[in-house]
Chains A and B, each alone.
Chain A
């Protein structure tokens, strides 16, 4: 065996965007976020690496089985592909992890439990594909996500379910049509603690209304972020001047609904009457979020669109970053990043510029 790890926690230095082949795109981006600064924390968790996946397949001779099974398939026959897909996925889902991988997963799970021993650990298990950047990433596994997973046995099962998603009929067909070898496309799985969010939302590291990069626009609602992301509510919004941390604009809305977790997923609830008109963020939280936004933007070197959540239990409060993506509306290299100014004008003399503004 090599030194390639079978699991890798998100706070590990090696979990970064250079290791997409090991941890997949999703896990790599979470690890990368952790490197943006001490204030930038993703919900704790770990990657079940592609090395784990390979070792699993290898140990159970699944690789050979898959190769043989697919060799029989007529790829023009959709029914045949579907049957092969079904059989392969069932084989993966039913196989057992070898003892050494089981131990590895248990150890990683144990470490995750330690991050917050007082409360019941609930995680999301999701696939983290190694080829997310390609135009149709579905050939590398569906973006399966299983929420509210709390038992180790269940974690193991969901991990296998995610791995099996590499062999959906659609993924098989795509690989076949585009000449990718089935045994060269790998998958990683992410096991991440679920945040019980008091408030969540998104933030843009620029003012989306005019592209002004000196501002952060924060949008927020009570509960999980889905209500904000989906546009189901008009969230509270805050505009912060980044260099001086001044909140230059705020709009506290009447927040009628919020998203909350359930055993099976999420649902929308009415917001309590007394909380509807209350700001879902405190001034200090807005400042902390601004710091986080600045760290992340600095780290990636371009404007970002960030999802975040605040977990608050008793005296403990933690801001988590769930995801960050490049902000695309204003973020183009060739155009002016501050488009409210006519581009192409020359820098004027002081006197001429004053005259323009005097009358």
Chain B
């Protein structure tokens, strides 16, 4: 989408002259491809733009940006249950009504063809700011002082309990021809199983929402602690780079890196066990075939025992960013872990490193922190130490939660949903179990109810084709939405971006917005890109553009990975990469953190690297300055 032709006059305070400034289109001005017609019916009403005149006026006063940090792809209707829908309550209330972060009231959410747009709502009223400051100070300090106990004692057990309860929810493969005997003998009533289907589905959605409330519990506090450390560092060491600050908070022992570490352990074990294990792992067999062959020998069986042990929870890694049911999870599709094992065994056998050397990273980090501390006088050192210790104790949360919610819990939720999908398919209302994700949370409740109604009507009852037709139609719309390139933002951009969370997490800065406006309107210089210097190092190499997590194995040795985002599930291939360039993500985004943790030079948040750079282009990136240069195009156009 291009920038709207309309411009608005912005008065320049000093020169008193009118400067033409572009704005982004309003939602109603977007011209969507015809294939997307009908997308509005796929998402809950709340998320639609311009529902009514008064709401449109409010929306047009707000600045909306596409939340590419969480996902660069459209989100399926049911998947919104554990993204936009969960966020709208859990994320918004966390800042508005739980911790009362003074200037950041909340985030309002809209959806266009499955793409999620955010708009920050800020607090400007002094009295309200003061009121919120008092609440914030008391509540957040309690969390900062008790983080360990709250996280390990309450949070993690609670999240595990949510996941375990979801796993235990019974979903019948098929509703019985006749209800079981005990309905009669124990006078249970008439349709416990259909009631259970409805109850368990409702419970699933309740638990999913509860999990997402947990997701945000410490999240902003963790980022604020990080911000506080960042700002303290900037005060004490003027001109310090983001990258240097990033180094001081790197080498965090977080659960999100465990899947890769478990694969490292398995690869080492495979080499140690020997026999035919390494050869099988290096073969081009399919995962099932590898498992079968491994189970055939004693050493192979020994390996498989360890493999099975690691699977739960560490292979509950979603492909992609975690928000898409259709991308699946390692546990359901073992291609990724076996591909990674293949690479890792090969690397071990040729004497290469397996990547993230935690001890080395930690030693480097500690040396840097010690050196900065040494330059401070005792008072300042105390201030620095306090900020650093708080940051380091809670910052792991920024990574840990991502494993437990976006990967582990989502895998469980999607798996359970598929069981419901299979039930619906069995009863003839849908063609494919995964079609259930084409309906939103409330529609699925209707669909399951109709499944029960159809069942209740008895053998040979009429089965509607409505849901199948609707699913087919929605599948087409959704595929068209994936092809569509939405506007990075909507509406009038603020002259300056002041919201600290907005800058840190989404990398939305004044420069970024201007850059979007420039690029949207003028595509002259495409040989340079600017982003965040997120992980230091200057490298030059051939680009490999990877837009789908499934294609990550195409990345060859010494190539520079160019992707919408990088996420921890990709970490196993990082040792092959020379550097990384992403479209999105600020300095504290997962994309930036994971690159720092693996010592991979990276520029994040370039905005449009995946569309400007092509596989095979010779590119240079500077992970300190955030500059990317295309030195040579693979194809002369």
Contacts and interface: CB of A to CB of B under 8 A. Distances in A.
25 contacts: A213-B376, A214-B371, A241-B239, A243-B371, A244-B536, A246-B243, A246-B624, A249-B239, A336-B379, A337-B380, A338-B236, A338-B377, A341-B380, A348-B383, A348-B386, A350-B390, A351-B136, A353-B232, A353-B387, A354-B136, A354-B140, A354-B225, A355-B102, A357-B500, A359-B102
Contacts of B101: 358
A340 B238 contact: yes
A343 interface: yes
Contacts of B102: 355, 358-359
A359 B237 contact: no
A242 B240 CA distance: 10
Nearest to A359: B103
Given A347-B386, A358-B500, A337 B129 contact: no
Given A243-B368, A347-B386, A355 B133 contact: yes
B248 to A, nearest CB: 9
Contacts of A206: 375
B240 A241 contact: yes
B238 A337 contact: no
Given A213-B375, A349-B141, A353-B387, A341 B236 contact: yes
Interface in A319-359: 336-338, 340-341, 343-345, 347-355, 357-359
Given A214-B372, A341-B236, A359-B103, A354 B228 contact: yes
B235 interface: yes
B377 A357 contact: no
B103 A358 contact: yes
B141 A351 contact: yes
A212 interface: yes
Contacts of B358: none
B502 interface: no
Contacts of A215: 237, 239
A99 interface: no
Contacts, number: 117
Contacts of A241: 237, 239-241, 244
B292 interface: no
Interface string A224-245: 0000000000000001011110
A248 interface: yes
Interface range on chain A (Cβ under 8 Å from partner): 35 or more
A259 interface: no
A352 B225 CA distance: 11
Residue of A214, A341, A349 ringed by the most chain B CB atoms within 10 A: A214
A348 B386 CA distance: 9
B227 to A, nearest CB: 7
A213 B138 CA distance: 35
Given A214-B237, A214-B240, A347-B382, 12 more contacts: A213-B376, A214-B371, A243-B372, A336-B380, A338-B376, A344-B379, A350-B144, A350-B225, A351-B136, A352-B141, A353-B232, A355-B137
Interface in B139-170: 140-141, 144
A349 B142 CA distance: 11
A338 B386 CA distance: 17
Nearest to A247: B624
Given A338-B377, A355-B133, A244 B239 contact: no
A248 B144 CA distance: 33
B253 interface: no
B228 A357 contact: yes
A239 B247 CA distance: 19
B243 A244 contact: yes
Nearest to A344: B379
Nearest to A333: B377
Interface in A109-162: none
Nearest to B390: A350
A79 interface: no
B82 interface: no
Contacts of B141: 349-352
A280 interface: no
Residue of A210, A213, A249 ringed by the most chain B CB atoms within 10 A: A213
A203 to B, nearest CB: 16
Interface string B340-356: 00000000000000000
B238 A354 contact: no
Contacts of A347: 382-383, 386
Interface of B: 101-103, 129, 133, 136-138, 140-141, 144, 224-225, 227-228, 231-232, 235-241, 243-244, 247, 367-368, 371-372, 375-377, 379-380, 382-383, 386-387, 390, 500, 536, 624
Given A241-B239, A355-B133, A355-B137, A338 B380 contact: yes
Q: Lowest 7 CB-CB distances: which A-B pairs, in order?
A: A213-B375, A351-B141, A243-B371, A248-B239, A351-B137, A244-B244, A359-B103
B396 to A, nearest CB: 16
A243 B141 CA distance: 31
A349 B390 CA distance: 10
Contacts of B239: 207, 212, 215, 239, 241, 248-249
A350 B386 contact: yes
A305 to B, nearest CB: 16
Residue of B144, B243, B377, B536 ringed by the most chain A CB atoms within 10 A: B377
A171 B377 CA distance: 42
Residue of A206, A207, A341, A355 ringed by the most chain B CB atoms within 10 A: A355
Contacts of A243: 244, 367-368, 371-372
Contacts of A248: 239-241
A345 B379 CA distance: 8
Given A244-B368, A244-B536, A358-B500, A343 B379 contact: yes
Contact of B227 (A336, A337, A343, A354): A354
A222 to B, nearest CB: 26
Nearest to A240: B239
B242 to A, nearest CB: 10
Contact of B238 (A212, A242, A344): A212
A345 B236 CA distance: 14
Nearest to A339: B377
Residue of A214, A239, A340, A354 ringed by the most chain B CB atoms within 10 A: A354
B536 A246 contact: yes
A207 B376 contact: no
A244 B137 contact: no
Contacts of B536: 244, 246
A248 B375 CA distance: 17
A214 B103 CA distance: 33
Contacts of A355: 102, 133, 136-137
Contacts of A350: 140-141, 144, 225, 228, 386-387, 390
A348 B228 CA distance: 11
Contacts of A242: 371, 375
Nearest to B138: A351
